[in-house]
């Protein structure tokens, strides 16, 4: 990013005279005063704390200008302060202005599961040929998306933006903010069903990603989902589907799932054996999505193969690691919902091991009245012949504990309330031996990353 204070002021319709500071150059943006770079525009957001109160910290760490709310009387007189009515709205307006100025192609990605992995795969495939910027970490909301938009530069060819939502209307806003050239939906699951009630309503909210899609754009979606096929009839732009049906535009003709990699072939690129460096047949759908997008940008099959093989995944997304005792750990601690938990449990149960398989599951949040039933549904995917021990922590997961009581003896089934994470961790550590395999999966609110830290993991080489 490179803009002057004068240009930023015009873009956000500033309410004050910036002539004294008009030539000050801004090279980045930040809304955390502790984490900004020299040359940054500070965005003081108002939430639990008022970001305006941290301007001195921002200046100390290198901020050269700031947005400033007209609701405050303490406008800095000796520092470039761009006065606006609403700093968040101005931040979003600036992002839209800058995106249109640089004008890269934009790919927007959403879905109940797999959107982060798909974002990573699309970026990896396209990066073999283009200069690509993607959403960092999980910056996928009304703050993270504009931040991502403002992270591009003059040489950026393609921007891959992940979009999350837990309410209707959110994707409508984000899609219209970025006006994508390609809108992608990975799948429809039960994530956030507490707020929507049904998968039908989740599908309605997900399809909002097409509301800002350019008329010349393309809608890419999981063709095996009837809810998406039905709603796609109301989308007038070009459409492409991926999945496992022969009437999808791109489908897998064969797959081979191993512990740390999955290979597959497709109908369109029949001579190429693609490999993704992760376990799980379910990840093939994410890769198919990336291949469809890559082919639209004329990336060759060999380039796409190399991109998938070299993909850099966002941290804590089904990553194999080695613990301090030599045990293998499948860390998937960032989030969890019923669909994701089922497929991970199924894949984990099939791994080759000379030790025990141990599963650690925490609450899946935001499931509402269906929470108990959805936690119980996981019992069909936990087989004592394949999984030796089960550790459960949380409130909602207690229903799963009761469902498993007839399958497991007391010394192989362990339940802990949320506040006993340390107790559970110590018990788990005492059981683990070399050659064992551990699966960690829960919604982020359970903080299984603390368990992971206690196991002192290293990346699997």
Beta bridge partners, 133, equal 159
CA distance 97 to 323: 47
Q: How far is CA 143 from CA 95, 164, 172, 178, 325, in A?
A: 10, 11, 15, 13, 41
d(CA 41, CA 443): 33
Q: Is 116 annotated as a binding residue?
A: yes
Over the Cα atoms of the chain, what is R_g?
Answer: 24
Write out the DSSP string of 178-195: H--SEEEE----STTHHH
Q: Write out the E strands in 115-249.
A: 132-134, 158-162, 182-185, 218-222, 238-243
User: For residue 301, what are the contacts with CB-CB under 8 A and spacing of at least 6?
Assistant: 269, 271, 272
Q: Is 9 annotated as a binding residue?
A: no
**117 labeled binding residue:** yes
Q: Is 38 annotated as a binding residue?
A: no
User: What does each C-alpha distance from 454 to 324, 328, 449 come to in angstroms?
Assistant: 9, 14, 9
Consecutive H or E run containing 52: none
Query: Is 115 annotated among the ligand-binding residues?
Result: yes
The three-state secondary structure class of 275 is strand
Q: How far is Cα 201 from Cα 178, in angstroms, rounded to an integer?
A: 23
* Residue 387 contacts residue 357 (beta carbons within 8 Å): yes
Characterize the bridge pairing of strands 3-4 and 25-26. antiparallel
Q: Where are the alpha helices (DSSP H) in 350-448?
A: 371-376, 398-404, 421-431
- 3-state DSSP helix/strand/coil % of the chain, to nearest 5: 35, 20, 45
Task: Give CA–CA dist 107/297, Å, rounded.
Answer: 11
Residues in binding site for ATP: 111-117
Residues tagged in the binding site annotation: 111-117
């Amino acid at each position: 990013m490179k803009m002057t204070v004068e240009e930023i002021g015009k873009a956000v319709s500033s309410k004050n005279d910036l002539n004294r500071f008009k030539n000050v150059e801004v090279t980045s943006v930040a809304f955390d005063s502790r984490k900004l770079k020299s040359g940054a525009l500070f965005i003081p957001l108002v939430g639990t704390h008022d970001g305006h109160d941290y301007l001195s910290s921002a200046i100390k760490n290198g901020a050269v200008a700031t947005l400033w709310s007209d609701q405050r009387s303490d406008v800095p007189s000796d520092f470039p302060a761009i006065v606006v009515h609403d700093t968040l709205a101005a931040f979003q307006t600036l992002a839209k202005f800058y995106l249109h100025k640089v004008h890269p192609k934009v790919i927007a990605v959403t879905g109940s599961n797999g959107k982060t992995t798909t974002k990573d795969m699309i970026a990896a495939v396209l990066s073999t040929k283009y200069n690509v910027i993607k959403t960092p970490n999980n910056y996928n909301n009304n703050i993270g998306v504009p931040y991502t938009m403002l992270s591009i530069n003059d040489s950026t060819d393609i921007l891959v933006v992940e979009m999350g939502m837990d309410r209707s209307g959110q994707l409508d806003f984000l899609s219209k903010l970025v006006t994508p050239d390609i809108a992608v939906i990975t799948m429809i699951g039960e994530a956030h069903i507490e707020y929507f009630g049904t998968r039908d309503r989740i599908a309605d909210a997900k399809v909002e990603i097409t509301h800002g899609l350019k008329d010349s754009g393309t809608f890419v979606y999981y063709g095996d989902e009837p809810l998406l096929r039905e709603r796609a009839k109301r989308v007038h732009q070009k459409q492409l589907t991926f999945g496992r049906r022969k009437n999808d535009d791109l489908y897998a003709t064969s797959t081979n799932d191993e512990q740390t990699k999955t290979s597959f072939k497709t109908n369109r690129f029949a001579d190429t054996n693609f490999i993704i460096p992760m376990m799980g047949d379910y990840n093939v759908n994410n890769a198919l999505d990336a291949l469809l997008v890559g082919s639209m940008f004329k990336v060759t099959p060999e380039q796409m193969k190399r991109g998938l093989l070299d993909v850099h995944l966002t941290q804590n997304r089904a990553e194999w690691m080695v613990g301090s005792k030599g045990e293998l750990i499948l860390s998937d601690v960032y989030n969890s919902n019923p669909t994701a938990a089922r497929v991970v449990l199924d894949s984990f149960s099939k791994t080759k091991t000379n030790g025990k398989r141990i599963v650690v599951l925490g609450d899946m949040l935001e499931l509402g009245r269906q929470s108990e039933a959805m936690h119980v549904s996981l019992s069909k995917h936990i087989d004592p012949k394949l999984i030796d021990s089960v550790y459960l922590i949380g409130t909602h997961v207690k229903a799963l504990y009761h469902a498993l009581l007839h399958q497991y003896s007391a010394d192989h089934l362990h339940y802990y309330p949320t506040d006993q994470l340390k107790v559970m961790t110590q018990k788990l550590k005492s059981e683990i031996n070399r050659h064992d395999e551990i699966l960690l999966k829960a919604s982020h609110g359970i903080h299984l990353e603390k368990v992971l830290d206690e196991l002192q993991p290293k990346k699997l080489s």
